[in-house]
Structure 1
């Protein structure tokens, strides 16, 4: 089967800052391994076509990356938005005319789904959408854009979402069924380290330094911890980057000066992320807004329990699998309470929970489900 993946996020020179794009690449590779021909089209800083592990990747130049930084309500971004939309549609149409795919898979519903819909109407190729969250929860709130989103979803042959609640939200907007299709990237953990069973424990945060990811709440939690709490922490590593760079560095510098065992660093590529997860005992997810973050499936692959805020699908997943601790509400005080509970526990007792959750987040199985649905539709 010839498949075209249209996405606004695909790893380029550095994949550390594009976690979503990394799982798209791994999804494409899983499809190739299952015998399909896969072509990807994605925005980049420069236009070029490359062959990456038997995946044909066509990148088209756009004025600004990541596209999530473009704000439809800000007139200063209108020129860049219009240019990006035109270039995206042009390149999707061109590759449909030359590559002749059997199916177009749009990641995400907007703008990729809009490009796929127009190409589908022009070339008669069915398309599907995979919603990630920002396209539904952010763009879907803008009236005119929500109407366009509804049309994109309703005309898709298949609708998927990488979250349980998100799938229901897509169903509500479109009036049609949307399936939960888990997203995950492949992490290769060599020489896996046995998780500690007693404190002091190792803790890790990996992600964007943005209010949605709750890095400021985590910093507030660290201030609330007592000397007795810190005695149960061997080391804390905070890696990532983003708009709150200065705040994170200044806050951590102050804590380090007080003798707290904290290390801070930038974004990590896939190999370094695997090493960090293998090193830690608990993964911290203090997010305010999430569906199911990529770091959650990363942690499950590494068999590491998480300490998480009750956002998106995380409460349901943690309650179902018993793969960590979830805060009572989204606040620094509640997260501190959950953290203290974890620090007083036997971390190895979460092993069966992380194993069962890991089985659910298998990117190869997601690829198999996706192609099975296409084949069933064509019969």
Structure 2
């Protein structure tokens, strides 16, 4: 077997349907499609709260990678790894930070402080750092002390829609994001409750990774009397998600923070008006004119923005046109892979 020219270390199941895992999986496929021999180093699924067994296994697997083979380490593991694991590696490290671990919502202060210190110190050991957005790059420079010349922005690719789908009636409001507090689905449901006098239906797609928060969402839907109008779909197959994007009239994500947000690119690829929050990388990701943005954690403001899109035909049409134009100009996953391949070549040459 040919020795790998690079490796990608990812904790847990690479097929997990979150933006970070989709990015990792498509990056691995894209690099291999370019003719690169890239090994997948599977790490334990307990990161970023690793068990001793998963930490020991990660140390053993990463130590086996030869010195001339750069290893991309996903941020879920990179930011929580024991420093000794990284200093024990012969291979040069390329960190892949989707968004800093300390910026995950609802973390206790001591946990946030620990993750911040660990990720900051570990990033200092990386030969290079990959990020999906200018926002994350700027954050790593300002808050984590990473030199700007050691950071490369590798924006996620986007798949183009296949064929046309008839729009749903009543209008479909689509939201896509795992069921965790950071995604703000609770804010969306509270906003929808304020629009009960209008004709619409809503589907929230995303795995229930936080069981307590998923239970809260179900309770909010029931208490608002929206059980017949809001569907918590959980994880759906790719073909079903594509159909929902095609049927939707508006994409809505009341997120509290995003390091990038692949779903916004997917919405623009389908030419959807977007209602979301001005937080994190969102203002840099959603194209001008394609979205209405309100402050996070403000159901009334979110309801007002949704009402504009639903009620004003001209506003909705103009936003859809801006969204479609931006979506047509988005890079593909091959472009992402080529950017990362260039980084790997430079790191290997430096090593």
Q: What secondary structure sits across from 1:321 in the alignment?
A: coil
Name which of 237, 247, 250 aligns with 1:269.
237
Tell me the equivalent position of 2:192.
222
1:183 and 1:257 mapped to 2: Cα distance? 35
Name which of 130, 133, 137 aligns with 2:99.
133
TM-score normalised per structure 2: 0.81
1:111 and 1:226 mapped to 2: Cα distance? 45
Bigger RCO (CA 8 Å, 6+ sep): 2
Tell me the equivalent position of 2:69.
102
Tell me the equivalent position of 2:304.
337
Tell me the equivalent position of 1:304.
272
Does residue 324 (structure 1) correspond to residue 291 (structure 2)? The answer is yes
Runs of at least 5 residues in structure 1 that lack an aligned partner in the other structure? 44-61, 71-79
Cα RMSD after superposing both structures: 3.2
Runs of at least 5 residues in structure 2 that lack an aligned partner in the other structure? none
Quick one: structure 1 residues 175 and 113, their matched pair in 2 at CA, closer, same or farther if it must change by over 3 Å? same
Tell me the equivalent position of 1:74.
none
Q: What secondary structure sits across from 1:292 in the alignment?
A: coil
Does residue 193 (structure 1) correspond to residue 196 (structure 2)? The answer is no
Q: What secondary structure sits across from 2:329 in the alignment?
A: helix
TM-score normalised per structure 1: 0.76
Tell me the equivalent position of 1:76.
none
2:37 and 2:82 mapped to 1: Cα distance? 21
Tell me the equivalent position of 2:202.
236
Quick one: structure 1 residues 113 and 374, their matched pair in 2 at CA, closer, same or farther if it must change by over 3 Å? farther
Deviates more, 1:142-151 or 1:271-280: 142-151
The within-5 A match list for 1:351-362 is 351-357=321-327, 359-362=329-332
Quick one: structure 1 residues 219 and 286, their matched pair in 2 at CA, closer, same or farther if it must change by over 3 Å? same
Deviates more, 1:240-249 or 1:363-372: 240-249
2:160 and 2:247 mapped to 1: Cα distance? 13
Tell me the equivalent position of 1:3.
6
Q: What secondary structure sits across from 1:311 in the alignment?
A: coil
Name which of 150, 173, 183 aligns with 2:156.
183
Q: What secondary structure sits across from 2:203 in the alignment?
A: strand
The within-5 A match list for 1:277-288 is 277-288=245-256
Asked if structure 2 preserves the Cα contact closer than 8 Å seen for 1:274 and 1:302, the reply is: no
2:346 and 2:68 mapped to 1: Cα distance? 17
Does residue 111 (structure 1) correspond to residue 78 (structure 2)? The answer is yes
Asked if structure 2 preserves the Cα contact closer than 8 Å seen for 1:288 and 1:309, the reply is: yes
Does residue 82 (structure 1) correspond to residue 57 (structure 2)? The answer is no
Quick one: structure 1 residues 265 and 151, their matched pair in 2 at CA, closer, same or farther if it must change by over 3 Å? closer
Does residue 174 (structure 1) correspond to residue 145 (structure 2)? The answer is yes
Deviates more, 1:248-257 or 1:162-171: 248-257
Aligned residues: 333
Asked if structure 1 preserves the Cα contact closer than 8 Å seen for 2:187 and 2:299, the reply is: yes
Tell me the equivalent position of 2:20.
20
Tell me the equivalent position of 2:128.
158
1:364 and 1:162 mapped to 2: Cα distance? 14
